[in-house]
Structure 1
Amino acid sequence: MSKKLNDTMLKAFRGEPTDYTPVWYMRQAGRSQKEYREIKEKYSLFEITHQPELCAYVTRLPVEMYNVDAAVLYKDIMSPLPAIGVDVEIKSGIGPVIDRPIQSMSDVEKLGTIDPESDVPFVLDTIRLLTKEQLNVPLIGFSGAPFTLASYMVEGGPSKNYHKTKALMYSEPKTWFALMDKLADMIITYVKAQVNAGAQAIQIFDSWVGTLNVPDYRMFIKPVMDRIFTELKQEVDVPLIMFGVGARHLIMEWNDLPVDVLGLDWRMSITEARELGITKTLQGNLDPAILLSDWSVIEERAKAILDEGMNQPGHVFNLGHGVTPEINPETLKRLTSFVHYYSKK
């Protein structure tokens, strides 16, 4: 690597003491940036992610604009699915749309396997470009988790209630577990390839798993998550982050998994998590909507989170979910500066 690496983020992920609280933002690449919007007028998400030079530029932009302590790879959780035979289209204003949803065991059996070097070379080339030449902070790679990916594959697109997904899970458990195994195989192979290409940490997004209760999570999801993280721990030596939305009731289930970092949304405070006995590094957890408020409100809320996080090593400042398009980039820049300044004191 040509640039000296600022490894503050990696130290925090590992629970080691740091000189200040490091910060990155979910969906920091794109969304609210003028430069990104100009690119999106010419290219779709699919086209950007298939051009490593352009994708690396979009990934790098927030590091240069906001001075954050990590880059997160610009891509979509759907990126690996076409490789296993899922025909997915990202439709503007809707999200991922799948024409032939999974409905039966025969649909699951038709799913193939992923060979990252031949199926998603553009992802790996983007990682290599960034980590070998362009970044002076760690690059976080990621994957969707089995439940969240399955929800799109079964529903055929975004859902508000996940009724079809749950119906398959409850009524066809053999089909469900077969689907979980296929997705676990894909995720493990895909994540290992990202790390081998140079990604220095991995976040698994189980964005929609909060829709399940604890007993169902334990029965239908936890075994596959345990398998994924156990196999990754054996084969890659990078911090692993678990994140979901609306999942405060699942935090103790995640705490059992062989992960290094638990991402909190804004529904559970860092203090609450610590009082439950969680000693892993915690990531979060400002509500993104607060970034649309006056600066005095933002500063007050950020300060409260930092005060809780600095009670012991192992805190990474982030949002409770992703940056939204309405957020002013200058606000993110100012917030990063504040987090660094305040936590150094």
Structure 2
Amino acid sequence: MTSSFPTARATSTSGAPGCGDDGGVSTPVPPLVAACRQEPVTRTPVWFMRQAGRSLPEYKRVREGVPMLQACTTPDLVTEITMQPVRRYGVDGAVLYSDIVLPLKAAGVDLDIVPGTGPVVAKPVRTAADVDALPELHPDQLEPVAQAVRQLVGELGEVPLIGFAGAPFTLASYLVEGGPSKDHAATKTFIHTDPGLWRALADKLARTSATFLQVQVENGARVVQLFDSWAGALCLADYRAHAMPASASVLAAVGALRGADGQPVPRIHFGVGTGELLGAMGEAGADVVGVDYRVSLRDAAVRARADGTRRALQGNLDPALLGAPPAVLEAAVDAVLDDAAAAVGSPTAGGHVFNLGHGVPPTTDPDSLLRVVERVHERTSR
């Protein structure tokens, strides 16, 4: 197969020529990986959070009668569901079908994903004894995930697999609240009542998230995303003091790993309602800062690079616009691309990954997502 991807030259560390006649070895770099690294791309890459599942009729067929966590630990089912949006839309990345609480379940935490509610924890974590009792996650407990990743890498070919994990604050919020929460009041009370115990909990969960990502990378994931879904509940000072250190630990652990190409695996950091936190989330160790739909990419670029480090951006079409008429949706896509061009430069310069500002709504018409992919590729391909 002839690749349309740009190529990167690999040379030996000793300075000797590589294997190619031109003194180097050319290997294809997928647009998603290149954009995350802020390298030139043939087009702006696009993928969607929650692209695997919910809105797809083929997903509903294969998931019928199968509980969520069972589906996430059945390698053949994970492979099929992850591949579905790649086949249907031609997206530039396949995000592993899983759930952020899966590593907690794999480690032995008593929880379940209740349809219509979300993750529910049997015994909320509130005391030092509760924190001590939380089991550590070991790589061998994730063998179904590792097998699914290996299968996917074999099927995806040039399309990179995106691994992901929940950030420690978000995982902790589920454990402390006992399930989903609108205000995360119990979590914030915990933080300020006993900061030392909170840090112990966050550090333990950082090891859990790092292990989950490590298994995915070691088996072939080429990009990772750390979801701090509920970090937007924190003010900047509290985020820096009580959430950022544990997330930084996770991102540093991934930064020490190398992918199959011998290069560091790009790290995306995303949260919902985190406009005031973008700078700190970048400083935590992100190569790419995910931006929700509440902040323009132009403003996000300034905030994410406030420390002087140039970071790539991901985002940020409002998911609600997927339900708009085609002409309205196309105009919204164009507006995001124009915003991105102002923030990071030419579409082919790299540095922007097109995505939604949150996940795909379950009522989305799949044809709307196809229109988005086609429009992004049409507007940005060289």
Aligned to 2:356: 319
Q: In the alignment, which of 3, 6, 16 is matched to residue 39 of structure 2?
A: 16
Q: In the alignment, which of 292, 295, 305 is matched to residue 268 of structure 1?
A: 295
Aligned to 1:115: 138
How far, CA to CA, are the matches of 2:197 and 2:303 in structure 1?
35
TM-score (norm 2): 0.87
TM-score (norm 1): 0.96
Aligned to 1:74: 97
Aligned to 1:252: 279
How far, CA to CA, are the matches of 2:66 and 2:253 in structure 1?
37
Q: In the alignment, which of 204, 215, 240 is matched to residue 267 of structure 2?
A: 240
How far, CA to CA, are the matches of 2:161 and 2:2 in structure 1?
13
Q: In the alignment, which of 34, 54, 65 is matched to residue 42 of structure 1?
A: 65
Aligned to 1:27: 50
Name the SS for the 2:50 alignment partner: coil
Name the SS for the 2:64 alignment partner: helix
Q: In the alignment, which of 146, 150, 173 is matched to residue 151 of structure 1?
A: 173
Aligned to 1:190: 212
1:42, distance to aligned residue in structure 2 (A)? 2.8
Deviations 1:207-261 (A, max 9, x none): 0000000111111111212222223212342000000000100011122222210
Aligned to 1:167: 189
Contact 1:8 1:22 in 2 (8 A): yes
Contact 1:102 1:153 in 2 (8 A): yes
Structure with more relative contact order (C-alpha pairs < 8 Å, separation 6 or more)? 1
Instruction: Tell whether 2:310 aligns with 1:287.
Output: no
Q: In the alignment, which of 268, 283, 298 is matched to residue 329 of structure 2?
A: 298
Which residue type is aligned with residue 260 of structure 1? Answer: D
Which residue type is aligned with residue 330 of structure 1? Answer: D
1:6, distance to aligned residue in structure 2 (A)? 6.5
Report the structure number with the largest CA radius of gyration. Answer: 2
Name the SS for the 1:251 alignment partner: helix
Contact 1:6 1:69 in 2 (8 A): no
Q: Cα 1:306–1:42, aligned 2, differ >3 Å: closer, same or farther?
A: same
How far, CA to CA, are the matches of 1:7 and 1:134 in structure 2?
12
Q: How much identity, in percent, do the aligned residues show? A: 42
Name the SS for the 2:102 alignment partner: coil
How far, CA to CA, are the matches of 1:293 and 1:88 in structure 2?
37
Instruction: Tell whether 2:381 aligns with 1:344.
Output: yes
Contact 1:29 1:72 in 2 (8 A): yes
Contact 1:266 1:320 in 2 (8 A): yes
Which residue type is aligned with residue 35 of structure 1? Answer: E
Name the SS for the 1:97 alignment partner: strand
How far, CA to CA, are the matches of 2:61 and 2:250 in structure 1?
38
Aligned to 1:329: 366
Aligned to 1:129: 151
How far, CA to CA, are the matches of 2:239 and 2:70 in structure 1?
36
Contact 1:59 1:72 in 2 (8 A): yes
Which residue type is aligned with residue 33 of structure 1? Answer: L
**Which consecutive residues of structure 2, in runs of 5 or more, have no partner in the other structure?**
4-27, 259-263
Runs of 4+ aligned structure 1 residues displaced above 6 Å come to 2-6
Contact 2:293 2:316 in 1 (8 A): yes
Contact 1:83 1:113 in 2 (8 A): no
**Equivalenced residues, count:** 343
Instruction: Tell whether 2:236 aligns with 1:214.
Output: yes
1:86, distance to aligned residue in structure 2 (A)? 1.4
Deviations 1:178-221 (A, max 9, x none): 10110011111221111001111110000000000011111111
1:127, distance to aligned residue in structure 2 (A)? 0.2
Name the SS for the 1:106 alignment partner: helix
Contact 2:86 2:94 in 1 (8 A): yes
